[in-house]
Structure 1
Amino acid sequence: MSARNLGRGLNALLGDADEPAQQPQGVKTVLLSDLEPGSFQPRRVFDEEALSDLVESVKTKGVIQPLIVREQNGGKYEIIGGERRWRAAQRAGLREVPVLVKNFSDKEAMEVALIENLQRQDLNPLEEAEGYRRLMEEFSNTQEELAQAVGKSRSHVANTMRLLALPEKVKGYLETGKLTSGHARALLTSKDPEALADTVIAKGLNVRQTEKLAQDGIEKKPRKVQPKKQSDKQAECDSLAADLSRALGIRVAIRSKTVGGDLILTYETLEQLDGLIRRLGASPAAGRQTSDTLTAESADEGDTLSLDGDDIGEVVFDGSFSDSLDGDTLSLDNIDK
């Protein structure tokens, strides 16, 4: 059957109601014992409560809408559409029901059975998904063609078919109505959908809460922390700091920056500070102020000497300290040993 006919739905297969001349076989009444369930029935679960309501309706009003059947050998009829009505009629104690006999091929019988249930919204999400799958795989329909046939969006068809990938346990919850299709789609992203499904049911979580739990349970790959590679410039500065520390007898640190850098001289006593100042050509008196903090500006503008007046302090040169670097190499020639 072409996609165009499939898109017309049941009318394309059953014939238009206002054209009885085109129907070689019409409505007739047959015994319930002459009807057999169809081999193409997509429904696997029959809701007992809904079926009981239908039984009460059949008891009072009978079967109003004929079952769709095709004739079999031996005077029997295969039910293509209307198995619930047939079951309800049995429980209601009826002996016969009205049927519409059609000459369907196997392909047409399957299409009618699936489309009728899909358009009636009588299927649970898994039955709907399986119906879509069969129509696509057995009749080579695309998702777009199938969506047009059943009056759904292509994304609805695609998302519904994804439910077939769920574990069997979760499928069971979906078939019995313990989980909705929204819950089930959220579980598809979970690392352990079965365990999460049990949690959702036990706590009565809604779809949004289920989605959050599913996302939280996804293992995030730890970001690899690359070891910080010491630049060649900083490595040379560390080597120069060690040489300068041996020359001055105090701790020395050199911190390289994009432009220039910091030279940090750490002293433990004021005597060490006096000796350091003398070596750098400064006046000893400049190291003593009542605030115990010394700031001396060198001849080159921007060099700042900061002294903390505790027993242990630091001398920090910044800014034009880079002037003492010749090609990123610090010279110790100007230090008076």
Structure 2
Amino acid sequence: MATKQSGLGRGLGDLFARTDEDESQPLKDGSTFAEIRVEQIVPNPHQPRTVFDEDDLEELSASIAEFGVLQPVVVRKAGRNKFELIMGERRLRASKMAGRASIPAIVRGTEDSALLRDALLENLHRANLNPIEEAQAYSQLLSDFECTKEELSSKLHRSRPQVSNTLRLLNLSPRVQAKVAAGVLSAGHARALLGLESAEAQEHLADRIVAEGLSVRSTEEIVALGRGGGERKSSVQRGPRLPSDREREISSQLSDHFDTRVKVNIGRNKGKITIEFASGDDLDRIMAILDGKTI
């Protein structure tokens, strides 16, 4: 049943005319538009955002109470009288807070996996995620939809190295990931901590970063000197030579290119490049890149 709205809400209400929940309006892309009861919509298990600002939700709820939902959520059928949310988690939550019984929705086909994947990619691109949520969303998309890193980076308008670097954050220990998700550690600090192999070493240096307010550059130097794990060296031992700016730059470029850790050592008369790999399959992947094939 239609409800009276004012101002901008009335204009959009005319554009997306309200219908009974068992009625729908076909759209050009094969989807349908319908008014769906909020209790019929179940959460999306692939929702990348896990933290919602309560003040923002209250503000949106007040707006919805006055003007209605100005942008439909996107759902897909998930059984009889059930719909799975694809896009619009904040709008759905705010609508429930505002006491609305139904919400305008675009219903997309259940079997069109490409359409669902693209909707999730768009949702990820628009959401304000912390680095760990973003990395988990990337990993979920790569796993569930067999989406390549190239396709993911293209859809999100981000470089492949940026996608790869974000995914590497999942190699951090759970305690460190929690600090990154909470905003205590920056993504730059987190990437520097990836240079430490053990979870204990990562956590020790993460605690130092928080306690001492270490910069990203200082963290990188500590990791390079081998002091990040808290293991004290003998006074007669010298720490490894700190990489030069050029060595760090080339190492970073090659690490992004091969999607693995690469060390570069430039000596006076000769140098060395070390490419690390995790398994035989990982070695085959690196060899394919060296041969000029696309992975």
- The bucket for the TM-score relative to the shorter chain is 0.5 to 0.7
Q: Does 1:177 align with 2:186?
A: no
Greater C-alpha radius of gyration: 1
Quote the Cα distance in structure 1 between the aligned partners of 2:213 and 2:68. 39
Which whole-Å CA distance do the structure 1 matches of 2:34 and 2:143 have between them? 34
The Cα of 1:107 is off from its aligned counterpart by 3.3
Q: Is residue 208 from structure 1 mapped to residue 208 from structure 2 by the alignment?
A: no
- The amino acid across from 2:222 in the alignment is L
Task: Confirm or deny that 1:123 pairs with 2:132.
Answer: no
Q: How does 1:64-75 map to 2 (within 5 A)?
A: 64-75=70-81
1:147 and 2:156 are equivalent in the alignment: no
Tell which deviates more after alignment, 70-79 or 153-162. Answer: 70-79
Q: Determine if contact 1:119/1:150 at 8 Å carries over to the other structure.
A: yes
Cα distance in structure 2, aligned partners of 1:171 and 1:32: 34
* 1:32 pairs with 2:38: yes
Asked whether 1:99 is paired with 2:108, we answer no
Residue 40 and residue 81 in structure 1: after superposition, are their counterparts in 2 closer, same or farther (change >3 A)? same
Secondary structure (helix, strand or coil) at the match of 1:33 reads: helix
Instruction: Mark the CA change 1:127 to 1:105 in structure 2 (over 3 Å): closer, same or farther.
Output: farther
Measured after TM superposition, the shift of residue 196 of structure 1 is 1.7
Distance apart, 1:177 and its partner CA: 2.1
- Structure 1 stretches lacking a partner, 5+ long: 1-19, 224-337
Are residues 198 and 51 of structure 1, via their aligned partners in 2, closer, same or farther at CA, if it must alter by over 3 Å? farther
Distance 1:59 1:132, change over 3 A: same
For residues 1-337 of structure 1, what are the structure 2 equivalents within 5 Å? 22-105=28-111, 107-108=113-114, 111-112=117-118, 114-190=120-196, 192-216=201-225, 217=227
Q: Deviation digits for residues 176-206 of structure 1, max 9, x if unmatched?
A: 2222222211221236111222222233334
**Partner of 1:122: helix, strand, or coil?**
coil
Distance 1:105 1:42 in 2: 21
CA distance in 1, matches of 2:85, 2:105: 9
Shift of 1:114: 3.1
**TM superposition shift of 1:110:** 5.2
Give, in whole Å, the separation in 2 of the partners of 1:160 and 1:203. Answer: 25
1:21/1:33 CA distance change after superposition, 3 Å: closer
Is the CA contact 2:46–2:140 (under 8 Å) kept in the aligned structure 1? no
Over the aligned positions, Cα root-mean-square deviation in angstroms equals 2.7
Summarize the Cα distance change of 1:187–1:50 in structure 2 as closer, same or farther, 3 Å threshold: farther
Number of residue pairs the alignment of both structures matches: 204
1:82 maps to amino acid: G
Decide whether the 8 Å contact of 1:34 with 1:76 is kept in 2. yes
* Displacement after TM superposition at 1:21 (Å): 5.4
Structure 2, unaligned runs of 5 or more: 1-25, 239-295
The CA distance in 1 between the partners of 2:169 and 2:207, in whole Å, is: 17
Q: Is the 8 A contact 1:28 1:98 kept in 2?
A: yes
Structure 1 residue 162 displacement after superposition: 0.3
2: CA distance between counterparts of 1:115 and 1:152? Answer: 12
Shift of 1:106: 7.2
TM-score (structure 1 length as normaliser): 0.54
Identity of aligned residues (%): 41
